[in-house]
Amino acid sequence: MSPERCTRGEDREAFLLELRRILPAEALLSDAEDLRPFECDALSAYTVLPWIAVLPATVGQVQAVLRLCHSHGVPVVARGAGTGLSGGALPVADGVLLSLAKFNRILEVDPANRMARVQPGVRNLAISEAAARFGLYYAPDPSSQVACTIGGNVAENSGGVHCLKYGLTVHNVLQVTLLTIEGDLLTLGSLGLDGPGYDLLAVVNGSEGLLGVIVEVVVKLLPLPETARTLLAAFDGIEAAGDAVAGVIGAGLLPAGLEMMDKLTLRATEEFVHAGYPVDAAAIVLCEMDGMAEQVEAEIARARQVLAAHGALEVRESRDEAERRKFWAGRKAAFPAVGRIAADYYCIDGTIPRKRLAQVLGRIGELSEQYGLAVGNVFHAGDGNLHPLILYDASLPGELERAEALGEDILTFCVEVGGTVTGEHGVGVEKLNPMCVQFSAPALRQFHALKEAFDDKGLLNPGKAVPTLARCAEFGHVHVHGGRLRHSELERF
Amino acid sequence: MTIPYQDDADNLTGQVRAACARREPLRIRGSGSKTFYTGPCEGRPLSTLAHTGIVHYEPTELVLTARSGTPLARIEAALAESGQMLGFEPPHFGTGATWGGTVACGLSGPRRPWGGSVRDAVLGCRIVNGRGDVLSFGGEVMKNVAGFDISRLMAGALGTLGLLLEISVKVQPRPECEMTRCFDGSSAEARERMIQWGGSGLPMTAMAWDGRLYLRLSGPEKAVSAAVRRVGGDALVSADAFWSSLREQTHGFFAGAGDLWRLSLPPAASLDGLSGAWLLDWGGAQRWLRAADAGPAEVCAAVQAVGGHARLFRTANPAAERCAPLAPALAGLHRRVRAAFDPEGIFNRGLWQEAF
Ligand SMILES: Cc1cc2nc3c(=O)[nH]c(=O)nc-3n(C[C@H](O)[C@H](O)[C@H](O)COP(=O)(O)OP(=O)(O)OC[C@H]3O[C@@H](n4cnc5c(N)ncnc54)[C@H](O)[C@@H]3O)c2cc1C
Ligand SMILES: Cc1cc2nc3c(=O)[nH]c(=O)nc-3n(C[C@H](O)[C@H](O)[C@H](O)COP(=O)(O)OP(=O)(O)OC[C@H]3O[C@@H](n4cnc5c(N)ncnc54)[C@H](O)[C@@H]3O)c2cc1C
């Protein structure tokens, strides 16, 4: 699509002229060359060149941009660091791409109240770095934490290794200041542990930029744990490893991290980072305990027993901080490591009830054979959050489509066993079809009604996160599971 | 585990649909245990009491799903049998408290800053909205970002966005050991200590002050003993009774007449301008003020000035304003959100009118 004219009939030059009145020249990008860096997020299979990109530096400027867009009916897509994996920050061709990159200041760290007030473009890890001198940190730790922004984390309700014990972004954010598409500034939540009125803060977490533009976030900080120790357990079957994970939780333990890797991923990472992993194992489980020294000691001993009782071939315990880091180095580098052994990979993100781990991993193995594409598994096992990596080669005709079809089958199976189509990466543009599998038409209608309460013209991040009913009807038509038509209540074409 | 139950969803949904057709308001009612808190509202009563039962409970999954009319006490008993509990330690405020009312009111007990709130625990729900649609959101898994998080929005909405049919929550293992230590000292000294302990890694699950400071430590026996050695203080003998009196407001502080204010604010905030009788919970983040010398407007303003908010929790005056009105733009959004779920205003009409 030509970026020259907005499909809504808006004249680009005239609109730029109006934007120039509210933004300094360097905050406004309109040449194709300047727009190129914004054409996709980390899901690079989808690209769209934005109509115009803006990089405001003050809340007043964001407000003015939003008011202008609202009055002209121009769509707006907010963007943090662009590390999203579901195309959430994918531009729309007739809309403004609003980068929050200049909002990168930590406004305040308040150790007495254990909170930090930050701008949305602050990197996740930067918050913990700033809090460290007070003995505090910010718990949610997506693997992308060196790059991703807190605004993006709130919009995606991001999680990470720590989330089993310390919760997701939604559990660690106290207050969000939001601009509506009409330019109204709203404060949701409070500096206490709850806010007045409806819990709209909960709704904004994970709303994928559809409800407003986040301009300030107050996060909760936690005391840095006195000690952390990690167990590395090797298993001769992936199912046994899955059962061991359920066993740890069932024993009443709440690890600070409970992660799993299969053989394929294990070997790829070992070659890449030399973490000393037992490469002959079919799977490994990493189990970390943190807290007071005496507590960690007691919990590690208990976890060791449980893992052994579930048939672990070997359980290693980190002897010092260096070894603990080494255990994690492989897990943290798993994605790039797999990237080295395949031309391309496609990362899925489903969540399932923990006790189904073994069953779902078995099914993924079958599907992998059926499609003739290798699948590596590395995931937040304690949360039941899977990240199967489908290996493919985009240069071979039809392989991308096969990878996508395999991914969709995996997600559908996740829903069938009582899970969900996305645990942390969001729906974006990627999982619109699987959303039709998970939600009924009336539920989707309720999502749209809620969206309208915030954004009646539907200008914020249009076409993302919630599929239209028409799309689902069309998708349902081609997508028949087990001979049964899903959602027969939907009108079909 | 087989638990006898009764599924009254069809009847409840039918009543909501009939009310929609007639545009007749409905007053959702569990046991009525928290009417003092919600205040009066209009409409024909719609009772959830015949809609009971734990639908699904899997201890190794840490997830429980129950119908809204299920007595809270029954849910807690089922969890205790498996060595588990609700992390938010909800107040019952009466023997009949229901699961739906617990979630709709969104009230959490002393464990809240460490165990999370009601909304933090909610994973999914099934509701009937004001159009009579039966809708499911969220689910029974720990991580789920598919669609807007409508389940958590239901917590604390007082039934004004829909009738809750079923709610799934994350539950927690009961700690192996629990001990409460107490310390003498003024409220200022208590606040100092709360700040200091709050920033330490102690395995604590409650901190309160009622003239004395109380610290509850939970975890493996070895860890709790080590923590006790670090903090000192005196052992509190009937600790469970103390924390439950705080949670249920049967503690002496809550006796007698006079408006009771609940203040939610940053834990270290000082409110020197307000006088009255004080009780501190949640490590200072939830404070109770009884018989305040100041009027409602002053109480609300003082708490807002430190970034928190206040609500009149118990009052003998049914016409009293319970909280400060929301800022105009936010109030407008609240009205639109309510209309998005319940366009005709069928559910609990009159509740929260003071706010928006
Ligand atoms: C290698 C790698 C590992 C990853 N690991 C994890 C992981 O472990 N856990 C996890 O949860 N995610 C993970 N992610 C995904 C991604 O990092 C997160 O979703 C992150 O929160 C996105 O942040 P961002 O700043 O890059 O947002 P972007 O990608 O720029 O945007 C994401 C979404 O948020 C919206 N948005 C951004 N800023 C704002 C704002 N200020 N106001 C309103 N809306 C806004 C956008 O419109 C978009 O919909 C990973 C990604 C990569 C590349
Ligand atoms: C016999 C009796 C007579 C009453 N008469 C009146 C009266 O005349 N006027 C009046 O204003 N109130 C009256 N009430 C109470 C009124 O219904 C309360 O506001 C509310 O029902 C609290 O009841 P509850 O036990 O559910 O409380 P809780 O269980 O304590 O519920 C408190 C709140 O949660 C909501 N709620 C409860 N269950 C659900 C659910 N499943 N889904 C969504 N929301 C839910 C309630 O509507 C209420 O807002 C009466 C109650 C009883 C028992």
pLDDT at B353: 67
State the pLDDT at residue A488. Answer: 42
Q: Which of A193, A203, A437, A439 to mutate to test the interface with B (most CBs of B within 10 A)?
A: A193
Model pLDDT, residue A409: 94
pLDDT at A485 over 70: no
Q: Which CATH number fits domain A5-99: 3.40.50.2000, 3.40.30.10, 3.40.50.720, 3.30.43.10?
A: 3.30.43.10
Q: Is A83's C-beta closer than 6 angstroms to any atom of ligand 1? A: yes
Side chain identity at residue B41, one-letter code: C
What's the pLDDT at B4? 63
Counting runs of H as helices and runs of E as strands, what totals does chain A give? Answer: 18, 22
pLDDT of residue A8: 60
pLDDT of B354 reads: 62
Amino acid at B347: F
Of all protein residues, the one whose alpha carbon is nearest to atom 44 of ligand 2 is B159
Which stretch of A356-360, B102-106, B116-120, B127-131 has the lowest confidence by average pLDDT? A356-360
% of chain B exceeding 70 in pLDDT: 98
Q: What fold, for A106-223?
A: 3.30.465
Ligand 1 centre to CA of A48 (Å) is 18
Q: Indicate whether A410 pLDDT > 60.
A: yes
Is A195 part of the contact surface with chain B (CB cutoff 8 Å)? yes
A342-416 folds as: Alpha-Beta Plaits (3.30.70)
For chain B, give the number of residues.
356
Q: According to the model, what pLDDT value does residue B179 have?
A: 98
pLDDT tops 80 at residue A188? yes
Choose the closest CB to A447 out of B148, B267, B327.
B148
- Dihedral of the alpha carbons of B188, B189, B190, B196, in degrees to the nearest 10: 110
From the list A184, A297, A421, the residue facing B146 with the nearest CB is A421
Q: Does residue A248 surpass a pLDDT of 80?
A: yes
User: How far off is chain B from A25, nearest CA to CA, in Å?
Assistant: 31
Phi and psi for A56 in degrees, rounded to 5?
-65, 160
Average pLDDT, chain B: 94
State the pLDDT at residue B187: 92
Q: Specify the long-range contacts of residues A235-238, CB closer than 8 Å, at least 24 apart.
A: A235/A281, A235/A282, A235/A283, A235/A284, A235/A285, A235/A310, A235/A311, A235/A312, A235/A313, A236/A281, A236/A282, A236/A311, A236/A313, A237/A282, A237/A283, A238/A262, A238/A263, A238/A282, A238/A283, A238/A358, A238/A361, A238/A365, A238/A377
Contact at CB, B153 and A199, closer than 8 angstroms:
yes
pLDDT at A461 over 70: yes
Residue of B144, B194, B271 to mutate for A, most A C-beta atoms under 10 A = B144
The model's confidence at residue A486, banded by pLDDT at 50, 70 and 90, is very low
For residues A198-210, average pLDDT: 98
Q: Is pLDDT above 80 for A482?
A: no
Residue of B61, B155, B173 with shortest CB distance to A199: B155
Q: How confident is the model at residue B309, as a pLDDT?
A: 97
Query: Residue A145 has which token pair?
Result: 């934490």
User: Which secondary-structure segment (H or E) carries B313?
Assistant: strand B309-314
pLDDT single digits (tens) B176-191: 999 999 999 999 999 9
* pLDDT number for residue B317: 86
The mean pLDDT value of chain A amounts to 92
Q: Is A248 exposed, middle or buried (0-12, 13-18, 19+ CB in 10 A)?
A: buried
Beta-carbon-side half-sphere exposure of residue A215 (alpha carbons within 13 Å): 23
For the stretch B9-53, pLDDT in tens is 999 999 999 999 999 999 998 887 887 888 778 899 999 999 999
Tens digit of each residue's pLDDT (9 = 90 or more) over B241-295: 999 999 999 999 999 888 999 999 999 999 988 999 999 999 999 999 998 889 9
- Alpha carbon B347 to its chain centroid, in Å, reads 20
Task: Return residues 248-287 of B near A (CB < 8 Å).
Answer: 263-269, 282, 285-286
Q: How far is B73 from chain A (nearest CA, A)?
A: 22
Determine the distance in angstroms separating the CA of B46 from the nearest CA of chain A, rounded to an integer. 22
Q: Which amino acid is at A70?
A: H
Q: What percent of chain A has a predicted confidence (pLDDT) above 90?
A: 84
What per-residue string of b and e applies to A265-277 under the rule 16 or more CB within 10 Å gives b? bbbbbbebbebeb
Is B307 in contact with A191 (Cβ distance < 8 A)? yes
User: What residues are paired with A291 via a beta bridge?
Assistant: A227
Tell whether ligand 2 has an atom less than 6 A from the beta carbon of residue B27: yes
> What pLDDT, on the 0 to 100 scale, is given for residue B9?
97
- Is the whole-model pTM more than 0.90? yes
What was the pLDDT predicted at B32? Answer: 77
Q: pLDDT grade, residue B351 (50/70/90)?
A: confident
The yes-or-no verdict on residue B74 having pLDDT over 50 is: yes
Contact A333, A381 (CB under 8 A): no
Separation in Å, CA of A157 to nearest CA in chain B:
7
Q: What is the mean pLDDT of residues B305-330?
A: 92
For residue A392, the SS3 value is strand
Taking residues A392-421, report their average pLDDT. Answer: 93
The C-alpha torsion from A316 through A321 and A326 to A329, rounded to 10°, is 120
Write out pLDDT tens, residues A134-164: 999 999 999 899 999 999 999 999 999 999 9
Interface predicted TM-score (ipTM): 0.96
Please determine whether the domains at A106-223 and A342-416 fall in the same fold group of CATH: no
Q: For an interface test with B, which of A185, A198, A203 has the most B Cβ atoms less than 10 Å from its Cβ?
A: A198
Domain boundaries, given as residue ranges, for chain A: 5-99, 106-223, 227-336, 342-416, 432-492
The pLDDT of residue A7: 54
User: Is the CB of residue A383 less than 8 Å away from at least one CB of chain B?
Assistant: yes
Q: Is A369 on the interface with B (CB under 8 A)?
A: no
B321 touches chain A (CB under 8 A): no
Chain B interface includes A3 (CB < 8 A):
no
Nearest ligand to the C-alpha atom of residue A461: 1
Mutation probe of ligand 2 site: the residue of B7, B29, B128 with most atoms within 8 A of C-beta: B29
- Overall fold of domain A227-336: Alpha-Beta Plaits (3.30.70)
